[in-house]
């Protein structure tokens, strides 16, 4: 079954706007995330750090919270945007957070300030993953 391609320009614009709102006074590394959900909406998140460093939250976690609160129930695509030379791929914990609402085929787009730099499937970033179907109904 052919899936509709996500609107990358729209995802990028939403992630860029969220990145500007990031609260990252400690790392100074601002991240924005945008999720295309099953309801057709795009949900945004940014990293929110904390003086108690370990309590800080990633942009992806915020976007997932926004999706659930807004009524979305499945992730169709993810775009993560950060500065610097290296690809800002989701951390391990966020890969698992995404997994809860996505499939192994869900595209994860990694962007820098200039645009999308790389595209992965969730399975490439989190192979042989554990998900909701692993638990008894």
Active-site residues, by number, are 60
Query: In this complex, which beta carbon is closest to ligand THU, that of residue 3 or of residue 27?
Result: 27
Q: Give the span between the Cα atoms of 104 and 81, in whole angstroms.
A: 21
The phi-psi region of residue 79 (left if phi > 0; otherwise alpha if psi is between -120 and 50; otherwise beta) is beta
Q: Does 58 bind ligand THU (CB under 6 A)?
A: yes
Q: What phi and psi values does residue 84 have, to the nearest 5 degrees?
A: 90, 175
User: Edge-to-edge, what's the strand order for the sheet holding 115-121?
Assistant: 42-46, 31-37, 75-82, 107-112, 115-121
C-alpha atoms less than 13 angstroms from C-alpha of 127 in its C-beta half-sphere: 1
**Which residue stretch of 54-62, 65-73, 97-105, 125-133 sits at the interface with ligand THU (rule: CB under 6 A)?**
54-62
37 near 75, Cβ under 8 Å? yes
Q: Does 80 bind ligand THU (CB under 6 A)?
A: yes
Q: By CB under 6 A, name the one of 18, 31, 35, 126 that touches ligand THU.
A: 31
Binding residues with ligand THU: total (CB under 6 A): 15
The phi-psi region of residue 71 (left if phi > 0; otherwise alpha if psi is between -120 and 50; otherwise beta) is left
Q: Does 90 bind ligand THU (CB under 6 A)?
A: yes
Q: By CB under 6 A, name the one of 13, 24, 68, 74 that touches ligand THU.
A: 24
Q: Does 29 bind ligand THU (CB under 6 A)?
A: yes
Q: Does 49 bind ligand THU (CB under 6 A)?
A: yes
Q: Which residues bind ligand THU (CB under 6 A)?
A: 24, 27, 29, 31, 47, 49, 56, 58-60, 80, 88, 90-91, 94
């Amino acid at each position: 079954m052919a899936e509709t391609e996500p609107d990358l320009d729209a995802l990028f614009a939403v992630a860029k706007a969220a990145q500007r709102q990031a609260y990252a006074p400690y790392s100074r590394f601002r991240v924005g995330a945008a999720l295309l959900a099953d309801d057709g909406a795009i949900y945004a998140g940014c990293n929110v750090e904390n003086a108690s460093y370990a309590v800080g939250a990633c942009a992806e976690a915020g976007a997932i919270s926004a999706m659930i609160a807004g009524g979305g129930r499945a992730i169709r695509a993810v775009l993560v945007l950060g500065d610097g030379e290296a690809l800002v791929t989701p951390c391990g914990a966020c890969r698992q957070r995404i997994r809860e609402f996505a499939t192994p085929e869900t595209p994860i787009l990694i962007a820098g300030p200039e645009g999308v730099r790389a595209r992965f499937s969730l399975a490439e970033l989190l192979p042989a993953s554990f998900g909701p179907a692993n638990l008894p109904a």
